[in-house]
Structure 1
Amino acid sequence: MIDAAKHFIYIENQFFITIAQDSVVQNQIADVLFRRIERAHKNAEKFRIYVVLPLLPGFDNTNAVQAVLYFIMRSIIKGDNSLLKRLEKACIPPKDYINFFGMRHHDILMGRLVTEIIYVHSKLMIIDDRMAICGSANINDRSLVGNRDSEFCVVINDIEEEDGRFNRQPVRVGKFCSSWRKKIFEMLLGIQFENPNNIDITDPVSDEFYSYFQDVAKQNTLIYEEVFATIPTDHTRTFAQVTAYNGMAKMKDTDPIKVYMRMHKFRSF
């Protein structure tokens, strides 16, 4: 399905543990993604991949969290065989084709402003608003090598079509898969109930929408870091830095008026 994608791929998964040419990790998802991006770059195609993952692994055991993070980071960016490093070595700008996102929310609890990670547990892939696969399989060897966990997935190939638009060009898309992807994007961008800026989610491939999606994620991340000093963050690289970062005075506790102004700039659910 990945190799057959012509315009875009949307992925939600609990894990992203997939490393090409690795002695431990055997599944080939990252390599298939790399080859599809490589082909798009060679052919000068507009091709986008959106990947939504948990911001942190959902385990109580610290060693388990560190182990999962180690393999996820090796899969995405750390080491020569990671997906983004392979793209860079091939002189392909990764962010032109693939980006990784997480979800977080905030609310008032017992009179206090709080935030928490939204833990992504779904296993979903939507391709070109025409095909989708949804089920129990994670992106890791436990689900994908074929001799460990038993998994169950439903593959959807739309037969009902409607008008769509990719990279500003009219296309025919699947009615169900398109509506599913649009509902997800409305939620991620916080426009499922109101859309005062008339954000058009029809075209996930265009430069304008792709940049807007990234800008929303970046802006929200900066606000969360400023108000709550959230983790994970690019501000910390060592455990000592994490300790110091956690000990910082947080805007939510020191400047409620400024917090109110900043929180109104959120562009998400």
Structure 2
Amino acid sequence: DFDHVKDWDMRLIDKTVIPRMPWHDMSLCVMGAPVLDVARHFCERWNFIKHEKAKDKDNIPFLQPPLGGMGSQQRYIEEDSETHHYRKYRHNHRTHGVTGTMRTQVLRSSAKWSSGVELEHSIQNAYIATILEAQHYIYIENQFFITATEMNDGSILKNQIGNAIVKRIIRAHEEQEKFKVFVLMPLMPAFPADLSTKDAATARLVMHYQYISICRGPNSIVEKLKATGIDPDEYIRFYSLRSYDRINRSKLEELLVKAAGYGNTTQQQLDNIEGHEGEEAEVVHHAGDPDFARDTDGSFNVDEEVEYGRIPDDDDIRRHREQLEEGIASDSIAKDAMEGGDIESEPWVNDTKYSQPRDDEAEREEASDYVTEELYIHAKLLIADDKVVIMGSANLNDRSQCGDRDSEIALIVEDKDTIPSKMNGEY
């Protein structure tokens, strides 16, 4: 991501061959009174950073949080009141009349070093409570899965989300309940460098801790369950996502030409073939750039001399039209590959209105256009029983969950507007 940043337009890969990694994320919108808690969190962070980094900058004021009071930031105001760096703004809350059917609570991971507040890990607390209270299933999407399964001061891993999962599964097994945990995570963490090189040490370390959280060693979730006589596959599964598509190289190459600053279109190429202002002229390839890529009239600059092609016959015109006319193939067949569409009925990349080759060479070329790549899960999501959602910025690891490391924010939302539904065969 940060390699040769100044050369932002440098092509590091061949986009006609290498697919772009798709990215999967989640977001939510909240209205009403809970927004005031988010605003208060923002003001606390702002005032903390103002005090730490910008005490002498008059154009950066302290902010009074909504609902009044400065909370833990009051001492900053008292310290700086004589220098007049505090400005009070009146907030128009206007939350009356904004009602919904959801119970919502703002959660966060924060501490003195990051926000100037007492240690808080309410995101982890909410994960643990929601998992233990779930009746039917837990669905998790997260960029990472690094957690502990027991309280141990000597353990490197500290967050107890894995411990909650193990406890809930053991209880389900003892009470003969049907209970499922679905975990979706990336096939491989998105860090630079090949995994076999020394530059990929961070990626390998992350994968190591994910393995010891999931299935490697006696303190992993899988081995903890096996130790109590439980078949883990009956209760918890881990998944990754993968996407499929086809690179329509002819169209992509034309888009890249346009992106490079050339105004050429396929129709202009066809116009050049059939001639300019009624004159027929064939585009002839030379080592130099063709003039049609510079929006001129179908000639080439060769050592500052203009050279024109020969006059084509009707067969030449038809052949070039077939080659250059926009094909009938779709730009993307992802909807077929990913949503169960009819991929066999899709036109091939080289198909045109005039020709649909189906020989061995065409089949090999068509097959080579198909690509696949992991769908990178960047979401931080938990759903329980179709009723409770936790969504925010916190990964499932110590860095996000323990509170004294990265600062994070999330919301837990419980839907109170229920409809008749069926789960585990019961209404």
- Give the TM-score of the pair, scaled to structure 2: 0.39
Instruction: State the alpha-carbon separation in 1 of the partners of residues 392 and 131 from structure 2.
Output: 16
2:202 aligns to what SS in structure 1? helix
Q: Which residue number corresponds to residue 149 of structure 2? A: 20
2:224 aligns to what SS in structure 1? helix
Q: Which residue number corresponds to residue 398 of structure 2? A: 141
Q: Which residue number corresponds to residue 132 of structure 1? A: 389
Give the counterpart of 2:375 among 118, 128, 134: 118
One-letter amino acid of the structure 2 residue matched with residue 124 of structure 1: L
Instruction: State the alpha-carbon separation in 1 of the partners of residues 186 and 172 from structure 2.
Output: 27
Instruction: State the alpha-carbon separation in 1 of the partners of residues 229 and 370 from structure 2.
Output: 44
1:165 aligns to what SS in structure 2? coil
Contact 2:244–2:373 (CA<8 Å) still a contact in 1? yes
Q: Which residue number corresponds to residue 188 of structure 2? A: 56
Alignment of 1:1-269 (within 5 A): 1-21=130-150, 23-61=155-193, 62-109=200-247, 110=249, 112-170=369-427
1:164 aligns to what SS in structure 2? coil
Q: Deviations over 1:113-152 (max 9, x none)?
A: 1111100000000101111110001110001111111111
1:118 aligns to what SS in structure 2? strand
Q: Deviations over 1:170-199 (max 9, x none)?
A: 1xxxxxxxxxxxxxxxxxxxxxxxxxxxxx
One-letter amino acid of the structure 2 residue matched with residue 91 of structure 1: G
Instruction: State the alpha-carbon separation in 2 of the partners of residues 164 and 136 from structure 1.
Output: 30
Instruction: State the alpha-carbon separation in 1 of the partners of residues 133 and 389 from structure 2.
Output: 12
One-letter amino acid of the structure 2 residue matched with residue 107 of structure 1: D
One-letter amino acid of the structure 2 residue matched with residue 104 of structure 1: R
Instruction: State the alpha-carbon separation in 2 of the partners of residues 163 and 102 from structure 1.
Output: 31
Q: CA RMSD in A?
A: 1.1
Q: Deviations over 1:2-23 (max 9, x none)?
A: 1110111110000000122462
Q: Which protein is bigger by CA-based radius of gyration?
A: 2
Contact 2:143–2:395 (CA<8 Å) still a contact in 1? yes
Contact 2:149–2:166 (CA<8 Å) still a contact in 1? no
Instruction: State the alpha-carbon separation in 2 of the partners of residues 11 and 37 from structure 1.
Output: 15
Instruction: State the alpha-carbon separation in 1 of the partners of residues 397 and 424 from structure 2.
Output: 32
One-letter amino acid of the structure 2 residue matched with residue 108 of structure 1: R
Instruction: State the alpha-carbon separation in 1 of the partners of residues 420 and 376 from structure 2.
Output: 33
What is the number of residues matched between the two proteins?
Answer: 170
Instruction: State the alpha-carbon separation in 2 of the partners of residues 44 and 140 from structure 1.
Output: 30
One-letter amino acid of the structure 1 residue matched with residue 422 of structure 2: R
Note the residue ranges of structure 1 that are not aligned, 5 or more in a row.
Answer: 171-269
One-letter amino acid of the structure 1 residue matched with residue 192 of structure 2: D
Shift of 1:106: 1.2
Instruction: State the alpha-carbon separation in 2 of the partners of residues 159 and 148 from structure 1.
Output: 34
Q: Deviations over 1:184-242 (max 9, x none)?
A: xxxxxxxxxxxxxxxxxxxxxxxxxxxxxxxxxxxxxxxxxxxxxxxxxxxxxxxxxxx
1:92 aligns to what SS in structure 2? coil
Instruction: State the alpha-carbon separation in 2 of the partners of residues 89 and 75 from structure 1.
Output: 15
Instruction: State the alpha-carbon separation in 2 of the partners of residues 11 and 164 from structure 1.
Output: 21
Instruction: State the alpha-carbon separation in 2 of the partners of residues 168 and 20 from structure 1.
Output: 31
Shift of 1:74: 0.6
1:63 aligns to what SS in structure 2? helix
One-letter amino acid of the structure 1 residue matched with residue 182 of structure 2: Y
Contact 2:380–2:391 (CA<8 Å) still a contact in 1? yes
Shift of 1:93: 0.7
Identity %: 41
2:182 aligns to what SS in structure 1? strand
1:71 aligns to what SS in structure 2? helix
Instruction: State the alpha-carbon separation in 2 of the partners of residues 29 and 8 from structure 1.
Output: 15
